[in-house]
Amino acid sequence: MRAAEELFAQGAEQGQPQQFVIDPAGQPQSGASTAKERRRQKRETKGKATAALSEAPAAGAGDRFDVPRPGGRLSGGRGTHVAARMTALVSVSLLALGAVGVMAYTAGHPAPVETGITDEEVSKYRLTPFPVERAIAFADRYARLCANQNPEQADQRRQAIARLSSAGVDPTCGWDGKGNQVVAYSVWSGVIEPIAEYPEHGFYIGIQVQLTTGGLRTLSVPVWVDDLKSGNGMRVVGDVGTLPQPDPATPPAVKDPLEADSALSTELQGKLFADFFTSWGASNGTTLSRYVAPGASTSARAGLRGALGSPQVSDVQVLLPKGVGATDGHEWGVDDVTWARVSVRWKPGSGHVTERYRVQIVLTDQGWFVKDIRAGVIDQEGGKSNTS
């Protein structure tokens, strides 16, 4: 410390501040001498590095890492060895990142239960863990057994019913063994009601049965399930009954229906739609491309693959924009898009069937082209059918 004080005093006497540092031995050095020492050490270090680079690498020197020139390769087998080590290091890093990503995804996405609904959602929305889809299929099978009635197969029917039901259930399903009845098809009615005696494990399931005679019945089938998660262990635990059919309502007429451009409708019926539906019905991609717009929907480009043939366009209504009347003389412009209601008479076999479509069309520089097609057209009048 005394030496440092002396140096500081010398600088003060000369009128210049003097810098000093403490060397590794603890002795102070002046700024000038320190700078001179740093320049000397720098020259020595540079000389040593130049000498080291000029020397050839010693064979078998395991403690050195050779650095090649830009664009060059490591000598001997070291390039391969180093590359292998670097590849292994990168692979381990990627695996670690992948594991972290998987853990992060798993943490944020709980595993779904078999129905695709999580346990948390079941609790939050008060849903039931009951395997509804499997129970509906089971109830549908049972309802068909009950509704199909043939005296010549009464024993087989009784045995099949008994295998699916509990001990106290009537194996005849209430049938006295007389008369014939055949099910055309059956479908879930949309009704499912819990069975109070079997909380969570039992539900009354509605199955709508259409008979070949035209009769329609909705049977309520009580189904019990042992294992809610797997859906195993199903039984019909009671006798069936018939529910009334829903009363049909009277739909109102469409409010403010769109008007049709009669002149354009007549023009496009033979100019566009007749040829389009011929190509579309046959899925003829070569000719179909002449009538569909770029970027048209899959439905417009795919077609029916010959499921229906010999189309005849019987009616077309090209809809005007909202608020435009049929007598306003609307002028269509390029890039205008609208919908057309089209009636098509097909020949699926020996007879004919008429179906209706909603076809979206767009006006381009070359004319009107089909952009999309959808099946079904609503009745704008509403009300009850005259035959109901």
Paired tokens of 231: 């859906």
Q: In 68-164, which ranges are E strands?
A: none
370 C-beta neighbours (distance < 10 Å), count: 24
What whole-number distance in Å separates Cα of residue 9 and Cα of residue 6?
A: 5
Burial label, 222 (beta-carbon count in 10 A; 0-12, 13-18, 19+) = buried
pLDDT score for 349: 81
Output the CA torsion sign for 192, 196, 197, 198.
positive
What whole-number distance in Å separates Cα of residue 36 and Cα of residue 31?
A: 9
Paired tokens of 342: 């089209």
For residue 260, the one-letter residue type is A
Contact 226, 201 (CB under 8 A): yes
Give DSSP secondary structure letters for 157-210. Answer: HHHHHHHHB-TTS-TTTT--S-S-B-EEEEEEEEEEEE-TTSTTTEEEEEEEEE
φ/ψ of residue 373, rounded to 5: -145, 135
Contact 218, 206 (CB under 8 A): yes
**Architecture of the domain whose range is 132-243:** Roll (3.10)
Contact 106, 98 (CB under 8 A): no
pLDDT score for 246: 84
Please state which of the four CATH numbers 3.40.50.300, 3.30.450.40, 3.10.450.540, 3.40.1390.10 is assigned to the domain occupying 262-375: 3.10.450.540
Paired tokens of 351: 């007879």
CATH 3.10.450.540 domain residues, the chain: 132-243, 262-375
pLDDT score for 97: 39
Paired tokens of 311: 């189309």
Burial label, 207 (beta-carbon count in 10 A; 0-12, 13-18, 19+) = buried
What whole-number distance in Å separates Cα of residue 176 and Cα of residue 149?
A: 10
What whole-number distance in Å separates Cα of residue 240 and Cα of residue 234?
A: 16
* 11: Cα separation from own chain's centroid: 82
Helix 132-147 to helix 154-164 angle (10° resolution) is 160
What whole-number distance in Å separates Cα of residue 87 and Cα of residue 66?
A: 18
Paired tokens of 128: 């039931």
What whole-number distance in Å separates Cα of residue 235 and Cα of residue 195?
A: 13
What whole-number distance in Å separates Cα of residue 206 and Cα of residue 216?
A: 13
pLDDT tens for the chain, 388 residues long, are 444 444 444 444 444 444 444 444 444 444 444 555 566 665 655 555 554 444 444 444 444 444 444 334 444 444 444 444 544 444 444 434 343 333 333 333 333 333 345 556 544 444 568 999 999 999 999 999 999 999 999 999 999 999 999 999 999 999 999 999 999 999 999 999 999 999 999 999 999 999 999 999 999 999 999 999 999 999 999 999 999 988 888 999 999 999 999 999 999 999 999 999 999 999 999 999 999 999 999 999 999 999 999 999 999 999 999 999 998 889 999 999 999 999 999 998 889 999 999 999 999 999 999 999 999 999 998 887 776 5
